[in-house]
Amino acid sequence: MDELVFVDSTFDTNKTKEYTLSIQLGLDGFSFSIVNKLKKCIALNRFISFQKSSDNQPLASFTEIVRNNKILNLDFEEILLQWISNKQLIIPSDFFSEDFAYESFQLSHSLAENESLLWNEISELNAWLVFSMPNDIKEFVHSHFSACQLFHHSFPFYRKALSQKPAEVHPPVYVNIQNNFFHVIIPDRNGKHFINTFSYTADSDLAYYILNIYKQQKLNNERSKLIVDGFIQKDSKVILLLKKYLGQVELKTLPLEYQVNNQITPKEYNQFINLLNLSKCE
């Protein structure tokens, strides 16, 4: 349990059948949280990086870590996993079908032979979120975690943003930042939401894309609040740069009661927000 950065006093390994295990997994590593029936986080595990010595290393690393982790071998009431990737697509429900999903996805992204498509329904959008996942990782997850539900990591991000009361005049801009890409959604009270994903290589690129979104969507730089979460810190260059041009920049952070390990940076804590929201959104 050395990797646990937060453990509530009520956490009991003998009662895990009453808990929900949520896992956040990507090709570079994973983390997990445990919540009770009241949707209260009672355990939080720090991000564990994978070794990168070969193409199959993510699966090998994940398999070894999971099999040697006592907590991840306990029985849980529910197990949820969100896959981190920039390969995703939203299709309106009126057009959705398995064939259309495969056809549309491959117009925007490459689908490798060792990947398959999955999809999550976003009822607030009346749409389906389609994403790809490596078959070997998916097969291990299903074999080790019985009845595990799979989601794309943007699923709780979009649903959380859409659950907020729509703005009458100046809509907020929600941004979830990952390594080398970010998701953005601007909820619209008339249902005409702006949703997109952008790749970036430097802080200046990230700031440029966000400011260009404000310009293209004709948003008021002083009135439309930018709300950011993910792999970001409040003193990062991109946040300081954006504050020069935008009147309201809010960095979402994990509640202080969960930040109990001083060796974990705020950047790591911020990435847990979607993980904790997953159990509340599914």
Residue 47, pLDDT above cutoff 70: yes
pLDDT at 201: 93
Give CATH for domain 4-84+256-281: 3.30.420
For residue 148, the tally of other CB atoms under 10 A from its CB is 17
Residue 194, pLDDT above cutoff 60: yes
The C-alpha atoms of residue 235 and residue 221 are separated, in whole angstroms, by 20
Q: What mean pLDDT, rounded, does the chain reach? A: 90
Residue 282, pLDDT above cutoff 70: no
pLDDT at 168: 83
Residue 79, pLDDT above cutoff 60: yes
pLDDT band of 53, cuts 50, 70, 90: low
- Cα 116 to Cα 11, 106, 139, 181, 235: the distances in Å are 36, 11, 11, 21, 39
Find all residues with CB under 8 Å of 204, minimum gap 6, and list them. Answer: 241
pLDDT at 128: 98
**Can you name the residues that pair with 90 across neighbouring β-strands?**
129
For the chain, what percent of residues have pLDDT higher than 90?
70
Residue 161 and residue 174 in contact, taking contact as beta carbons nearer than 8 Å = yes
For the chain, what percent of residues have pLDDT higher than 70?
95
Using alpha carbons, select from 133, 130, 126, 131 the residue that is nearest to residue 162: 126
Kindly report which listed range (90-99, 143-152, 253-262) carries the lowest average pLDDT score: 253-262
- Cα 53 to Cα 28, 29, 56, 57, 60: the distances in Å are 12, 14, 9, 6, 11
CATH class in words for 164-251: alpha beta
